Structure 1
Amino acid sequence: MTDRIHLPDVVGKGYKDFWYFKGRYRVVKGSRASKKSATTAIWYIYNMIKYTEANLLVVRKTFRTLKDSCYMQLKWAIHRLGVDAYFNCKESPLEITYKPTGQKIYFRGIDDPLKITSITVDAGVLCWLWVEEAYEITSEAAFDTLDESIRGEVPTGLFKQATLTFNPWNEKHWIKKRFFDKADKDVLAKTTNYRCNEFLDESDRDMFERMRLTNPRRYQVAGLGDWGIVEGLVYENWEERAFDFSEIAKRENVHSAFGLDFGYTNDPSALFCGLVDTVRKEIYVFDEMYKKAMTNKMIYKEIVRMGYAKEKIIADSAEPKSIAQLRGLGLLHIHGAKKGKDSILNGIQLVQDYKIIIHPQCVNFITEITNYTWDKDKFDNQINKPIDDFNHLLDAMRYAMERFGRKVSGIQFLK
């Protein structure tokens, strides 16, 4: 290869230790816009060219989230390094090949463990693992299985390494205890934030400054990359468990429930997909949509693609124009939620009467429910008002559950 670039201009500052570390684990928690995923992607593309026998396995909790995240991030890194001609990026199967040597980047989801353990490489060795959004992996044992997939001897000069990148929403996560709470020469545990990202413009920096002033609790995590301290969860009666949607749907007294919360630039549009057993008092969360920058037409197309266009969907009534447009596009059974005085608290109280079973593929729902807490007053006392955060799918769930309850007032909601 004759192409030359000045690497510091491409990568930027703040990741020198990360770039040169060759121990077994690189674990990076960081705020949004801290360029942790971008830097990781560039590192892998650069070093696959450098180490001609290295292959990479990229993993997220669910396979379906990989194409729009890690795969696109690695394609971006290839283009940023100016090596597009040397890589072949395929979507079926999802993989990237370095053409001069046949080295590959494989993509797998923990939701299909057999595909992880059965990987065999055509050229070289499988020596690198990237776990993106590692916070989604709630089971340390699941990570151990992944870690064991990077095994065997490697050629002289090469090294085995697992890299975990994530947002540190919850200080009780196993990652903190394992990698951050004790020093280990084989572990680089690093915290980054937006301040080391010199590629941000003024509007990006202004967003974080507004967050610092208006939402200091969120700023500590989403701005500075500190661990999130979770106290006073709104919903505690839930569990993550795989289940067969079709079998649950066959039960008597089970009804489908779909809710839609609108977002755009800073907040995602969120579709909650559930089954409600009104006798056993159980809510089964089986699917979700969770994407930013979606127009109403894009929301419609995505709901059609997911197969839910004929379902009764209860949407945020604060956007009647959006509901009308979606109905005109073909969602004939979409209706606005019946909001009113204390509707949020009444909806929460109704959901609290149910046990919530969440399918592991609903990673965004799990993230929200593990971080949705009661707000606090200026004296740090909890109040009967939830935080206005981690609530997009949970608001959508409230809308969907509206028809299963009745208005309740004068109730102490805190638990």
Structure 2
Amino acid sequence: MSNEISLQETIGKGYAEFWRFRGRYRVVKGGRGSKKSVTSAYWIIYNMMKMPLANTLVLRKTFNTHKDSTWAQLKWAAHRLKVSHLWQFKKSPLEAIYKPTGQKILFRGLDDPMSITSITVDNGFLCWAWFEEAYQILNEDDFDKVDMSIRGELPEGYFKQLTLSFNPWNEKHWLKKRFFDVSNPNVLAITTNYRCNEFLGEDDRALFKWMKEHKPKRHRVEGDGDWGIAEGAIYENWREEDFNWKTISKQSGYRAVFGLDFGYTNDPSALVCALANKEAKKLYIFDEHYEHGMQNDDIAQMIKSKGYAKERIIADSSEPKSIDEIRGYGIGRIRAADKGPDSVKNGIQFIQQYEIIVHKFNCPNVAIELSSYVWEQNKAGKFMNKPIDDFNHTLDALRYAMEQIRKPATFEF
């Protein structure tokens, strides 16, 4: 490097093991202010300059979030390491090029899977990938596809590695089971928090101290970096149980309801099957289907194979053509949801009145989404009366299903 700097003084302490690890999977969850993203960016810039045949792929769930996050973070890291004159950060296409060698940092989103599977580099090898905000990857298969694309022989001294960084989220996420609940020399899974960030100001530390005293649940997640949702969960009155839904369906007051949310490439198609008791305010969710890339005939066949072809199924009304096609494939009682003004808010408020019991083994994606569906926050951190547009595929299907209970007259057919 043209200007000598102290790497330790620039990067700080707390990430020595992370920095030195050469195994395939390097996973770090951390609370706010834990330096996880900053350190990942430093590592990529520094090590690409050190290893002239290495290229890096940076991924987020959606491509358009890169420019203001990972791309900006890497550009800032190059500046802090005093090497920005050696790098070109391009906006179109979004990439970073190390000028002396032509090595590249490529940016992709899981919303365009073809752009990932077809990656080639002009110089050297694709050695490293960085998944930022990895908790947003609900489908483990999406991660596996990228994992498989980082392959092939490398020259001596080079290594393949995938780095995943994320804020701690609910412990039902596949990330915990895959990386944190295993003992594998090829996996480094660590938890960091603000205490290892010596660059925080006293006002920042005072904020965490206040949070610990006044909002301990939030501090456990955002401060300590533990698993869980800090605040703002939309559905709180729910649990998992192993139950016999056929027995419950015979009890007085229960009615079976079915909802379908459409997806394809970026989002899954989601079917939710439940038993609702309007008087007792109890809701048993007993079955689900959650799959990407389903054509309408696939959806119809799935419904038939589960034995629900003759049931009333309320589907996302934004795709009337899909509903007509599925009806044509023999699902005769499928109908469009009656969305209308404030339908999301009203549907949520109705379901919030219910005690929700999720089948412990049949409905893993419902459980994940119930654990992760939260209210949006504004820049000041205040919760708004609007849910995030994520972790909501089975829960949108549930809202559609429950319209039969909330507004029965609309669906008398």
Q: TM above 0.5, one fold?
A: yes
CA distance, structure 1, for counterparts of residue 164 and residue 227 of structure 2? 15
Deviations 1:150-172 (A, max 9, x none): 11011111100000000111000
Are the structure 2 counterparts of residues 90 and 369 from structure 1 closer, same or farther at C-alpha, using a change threshold of 3 Å? farther
The residue aligned with 2:349 is 348
- Counterpart position of 1:16: 16
Report the Cα distance in structure 1 between the residues aligned to 2:152 and 2:374, rounded to whole angstroms.
Answer: 45
AA aligned opposite 2:372: N
Helix, strand or coil at the partner of 2:129: strand
Residues 1:103 and 1:244: Cα distance change in structure 2 (over 3 Å): closer
Which 10-residue stretch deviates more, 194-203 or 221-230?
A: 221-230
Aligned length: 294
Unaligned runs of 5+ in 2: 239-258, 268-315, 322-334, 355-366, 376-380, 391-398, 407-413
Q: Does 1:138 align with 2:138?
A: yes
Deviations 1:106-154 (A, max 9, x none): 0000110100011110001001000000000011111110111111011
Distance 1:217 1:158, change over 3 A: same
Aligned to 1:195: 195
2:210 is aligned to 210
Cα distance, 1:346–1:124 mapped onto 2, change above 3 Å: closer
Q: What's the TM-score, normalizing by structure 2?
A: 0.63
AA in 2 matched with 1:202: E
* Amino acid across the alignment from 1:233: Y
Structure-2 change in CA distance of 1:395 and 1:371 (3 Å): closer
Is residue 31–residue 194 contact of structure 1 (8 Å, CA) maintained in 2? Answer: yes
Alignment partners' CA distance in 1, 2:142 and 2:319: 31
Structure 1 match to 2:57:
57
For residues 233-258 of structure 1, the C-alpha deviation after alignment (integer angstroms, 9 at most, x for no partner) is 3598896834899x954749xxxxxx
Secondary structure (helix, strand or coil) at the match of 2:195 reads helix
Number of the residue aligned with 1:281: 337
**Alignment partner of 2:97: what SS?**
strand
Q: Is contact 1:62-1:110 (8 Å) kept?
A: yes
1:288 match: none
Q: What is the CA distance between 1:229 and its match in structure 2? A: 6.5
Helix, strand or coil at the partner of 1:3 = coil
Distance 2:109 2:89 in 1: 18
Q: Which residue of 2 aligns with 1:309?
A: none
Q: What does the per-residue CA deviation read over 1:367-406, in whole Å, with 9 as the maximum and x for residues that have no partner?
A: 99643589xxxxxxxxxxxxx9876632999xxx9xxx9x
1:210 alignment partner, SS class: helix
- CA–CA distance in 2 between the matches of 1:238 and 1:198? 49
How many Å separate the matches in 2 of 1:396 and 1:7?
40
Instruction: State how 1:107-126 maps to structure 2 within 5 Å.
Output: 107-126=107-126
1:233 pairs with 2:229: no
Specify the code of the residue in structure 2 equivalent to 1:28.
V
Q: How does 1:133-172 map to 2 (within 5 A)?
A: 133-172=133-172
CA shift in 2, pair 1:232/1:74, >3 Å? closer
Quote the Cα distance in structure 2 between the aligned partners of 1:282 and 1:155: 60
Aligned-partner SS, 1:183: coil
1:287 alignment partner in structure 2: none
Instruction: Read off the aligned partner of 1:181 and give its amino acid letter.
Output: D
Q: Which amino acid aligns with 1:227?
A: W
8 A contact 2:374–2:388 mirrored in 1: no
Change (3 A) 1:87 1:242: same
Amino acid at match of 1:147: D
- Name the CA shift for 1:229/1:84 in 2 (closer, same or farther; >3 Å): closer
| Identity score, percent | 52
TM-aligned CA distance change 1:83 to 1:283, over 3 Å: farther
Structure 1 residues 55 and 367: alpha-carbon distance in aligned structure 2, compared to 1, 3 A threshold: farther
Per-residue CA deviations over 1:347-366 (Å, capped at 9, x if unaligned) read 6127889xxxxxxxxxxxx9
Q: CA contact under 8 A between 1:369 and 1:394: conserved in structure 2?
A: no
Report the AA paired with residue 386 of structure 2: L
2:386 is the counterpart of 1:393: yes
Cα-Cα RMSD: 3.9
1:393/1:70 CA distance change after superposition, 3 Å: farther
Measure, in 2, the Cα distance between the counterparts of 1:373 and 1:8. 38
Verify the 8 A CA contact 1:235 1:372 in the aligned structure 2: no
TM-score (norm 1): 0.63
Give the Cα–Cα distance (whole angstroms) in 1 for the partners of residues 128 and 14 of structure 2.
Answer: 22
Q: Distance in 2 between matches of 1:116 and 1:85?
A: 29
Q: Is the 8 A contact 1:32 1:193 kept in 2?
A: yes
Matches within 5 A, 1:257-276: none
Matched-pair contact (CA < 8 Å) for 2:87–2:96: yes
- Asked if the contact 2:22/2:161 (under 8 Å) is kept, the reply is yes
Whichever of the two has the greater Rg, that structure is: 2
Between the aligned partners of 1:161 and 1:371, the Cα distance in structure 2 is 28
Q: 1:95 to 1:243 in 2, by over 3 A?
A: closer
**1:24·1:161 contact (CA, 8 Å) conserved in 2?**
yes
Distance 1:12 1:232, change over 3 A: same
In the alignment, the residues of structure 2 paired with residue 13 and residue 240 of structure 1 have an alpha-carbon distance, to the nearest angstrom, of 47
User: 1:178 and 2:178 equivalent?
Assistant: yes
Q: Is the 8 A contact 1:233 1:371 kept in 2?
A: no
Aligned equivalents of 1:217, 1:25: Cα separation in 2: 30
1:3 Cα deviation after fit: 1.8
Q: Corresponding residue for 1:371?
A: 372
CA distance 1:205–1:238, shift in 2 (3 Å): farther
Letter paired with 2:45: I
Q: Judging changes above 3 Å, is the alpha-carbon distance between structure 1 residues 217 and 90 closer, same or farther for their aligned structure 2 residues?
A: same
Report the Cα distance in structure 2 between the residues aligned to 1:128 and 1:67, rounded to whole angstroms. Answer: 19
Give the match's secondary structure for 1:393: strand
Contact 1:234 1:373 survives alignment (8 Å): no
Closer/same/farther in 2, CA of residues 65 and 396 from structure 1, 3 Å limit = closer
CA distance in 2, matches of 1:216, 1:371: 19
- Equivalent AA in structure 2 for residue 39 of structure 1: T
Q: CA distance change for structure 1 residues 351 and 75 in 2, over 3 Å: closer, same or farther?
A: same
What is the deviation of 1:2? Answer: 2.8
